[in-house]
Structure 1
């Protein structure tokens, strides 16, 4: 493969990444897919419909990942979620911070992008602050704090941390996916709404296939080594939104010096905004919205900071860990999602207490 062919293939990968991001944004706008909303519905009203939608999305993504493994295209150990180092404190504490933040900011990173596409200017403020705090936690001041604290509470497993490897059951992902899908679809009530989760999960599975198969060059002409074109860290990846939002801001800031290039994470962020905007306009749901008062702004700022710091610390958000990570059966993803749900429940209960008071 020549350099020109590599460049052409990279462009194809990025275009397809934008399309998948657009599909995720459009589906989320249409179905109101939102993990924070799912937690709030369960805590406040005992309504499990959006939680079941999330469960079905995880099931489809999990089945898709298992299928790619069976084809030999992808292994959990190749991803950011399946390595041998289990970040016990980082996954749990980062998830807890992110869960609290998404309640204060009226939605997680993915929902922020969808809300921005629908005309919500509050989401633009959240995006900018979350991207800045995420960038700081990747390479700045809070990165030093992260490295010197929670990142040190880790276990070196000596093998991949996914449950399929641990159990020695390569088809475990298929079995868990079927169980989750059965739980999500068993009640008749709201089944049509819950079914949207299958489409969301399929987008995540396609993102894995794109980065692991379409983007793979077995022998790059410059390095003579295998390369995953367009990916952030030269390995298979699916959808995640906190670190890519930080990457988007850095790309815009350092565009002229050529040190930052487009990657799947950045184009998927742009795709989500575009897809959500297209769906909102098509359904005539596009509405400009701003902050109502200073307190509203303050809560969103705090939430944005918590999501930026927490999302990077936990190595993912409600989509990065809650869909992409869980699809790999990663132990770290389970801890991160546990932290996110705990943080979300605490945040929702605190809001309820505050209103009652």
Structure 2
């Protein structure tokens, strides 16, 4: 591939992922898709509607990702979440921190991006602080703690830390069958659970449609990153890689580390080494999609903090999300939908931590009021 062809492909990938993220942001705002809101509804109201919405998103993404892997459209070993090492302590602790933080910050990174598009200055502050905390955990002061005390505690596995590979290794079953059974079986089960009848049919249909669109966007991102963006030989390094991603591997949607990279790109925009990447385009697309929705619905409205206590709570939540999201290697979208759609064992640990941390913080806040 010539340098000109490489640049053209990278530009195409960035434009398409921006458009996909725009659809994702529009759909999330229209359907009120929010993992923190789903957990809050269950804890406070025993309302499972938005949890079913999340189940629909994961089920669709899981079936879609499984189909892509079996078809050969995505080399699962080249994805960001594929590794023989399982840093279980990082996934758990990071998930706990992120879950608690998103409650304090009124939503996860994705939710705050959609709120920013609707005019929330609170979300802007949360995203700025979350991005700074995330960058510090990638390369700064909190990165030292993460690397020394958390990432160093891990299990070395004989295969990739993905459920189909582990099942095939443990039972001797063909990997194709293990992936087909687990991916489509679990994905289909999650979709069936989401379709469980509940009062409020109109609300249910709208929410589940939104969840399905989220799942389809994640599936499309896997196809774009794993099939369209694949480069057999980089024109300069001659390495096999995937265009436009920060890691050079296959990525989907995640919204903690990409916010940090967006801040880095904006702050050092004139530095030619700072390139526009997949994650940055995704962040911009999410804000654009939610802004389009706010203008379409005519509900764009500037919003600020109620008081200093509200500000302090959101700042603490943003720090916890930035540290936790990087430590867990993903957020409620990165681990909670993208990674789990590949049946990553680490994502299951991270999700358990996120749900536990969010639930504990919700109950603490309820008890302190």
TM band (smaller chain):
over 0.9
Shift of 1:188: 4.2
Pairwise CA RMSD? 1.0
Match of 1:170 among 175, 179, 197: 179
Match of 1:325 among 313, 332, 339: 339
Provide the residue aligned with 1:80 in structure 2: 80
1:177-231 C-alpha deviation (Å, 9 max, x unpaired): 1101001102243430223201110000101111111111222222223221101
Map 1:275-314 onto structure 2 (within 5 A): 275-314=289-328
Provide the residue aligned with 1:64 in structure 2: 64
Provide the residue aligned with 1:240 in structure 2: 254
Shift of 1:284: 1.1
Map 1:151-166 onto structure 2 (within 5 A): 151-166=151-166
1:281-339 C-alpha deviation (Å, 9 max, x unpaired): 10112111001100000000000000000000000000000000110100100000000
Provide the residue aligned with 1:9 in structure 2: 9
Provide the residue aligned with 1:96 in structure 2: 96
SS, match of residue 179 in structure 2: coil
SS, match of residue 253 in structure 2: coil
Provide the residue aligned with 1:40 in structure 2: 40
Give the Cα–Cα distance (whole angstroms) in 2 for the partners of residues 220 and 94 of structure 1. Answer: 34
Provide the residue aligned with 1:181 in structure 2: 191
Q: Is the 8 A contact 1:76 1:160 kept in 2?
A: no
1:69-107 C-alpha deviation (Å, 9 max, x unpaired): 111122333222221110111000000000000000000
Shift of 1:166: 1.1
Provide the residue aligned with 2:112 in structure 1: 112
Q: Is the 8 A contact 1:76 1:162 kept in 2?
A: no
What are structure 2's unaligned runs of at least 5 residues? 169-177
What are structure 1's unaligned runs of at least 5 residues? none
Worse-superposed segment, 77-86 or 173-182: 77-86
SS, match of residue 270 in structure 2: helix
Total equivalences in the alignment:
355
Q: Is the 8 A contact 2:74 2:226 kept in 1?
A: yes
1:108-153 C-alpha deviation (Å, 9 max, x unpaired): 0000100000000000000000000000000000000111111121
Q: Is the 8 A contact 2:75 2:226 kept in 1?
A: no
Provide the residue aligned with 1:343 in structure 2: 357
Q: Is the 8 A contact 1:87 1:151 kept in 2?
A: yes
Shift of 1:42: 0.3
Give the Cα–Cα distance (whole angstroms) in 2 for the partners of residues 76 and 22 of structure 1. Answer: 26
Shift of 1:165: 0.8
SS, match of residue 259 in structure 1: coil
Provide the residue aligned with 1:270 in structure 2: 284
Shift of 1:167: 1.2
Runs of 4+ in 1 over 6 A off after TM superposition: none
With the length of structure 2 as denominator, give the TM-score of the two structures: 0.95
With the length of structure 1 as denominator, give the TM-score of the two structures: 0.98
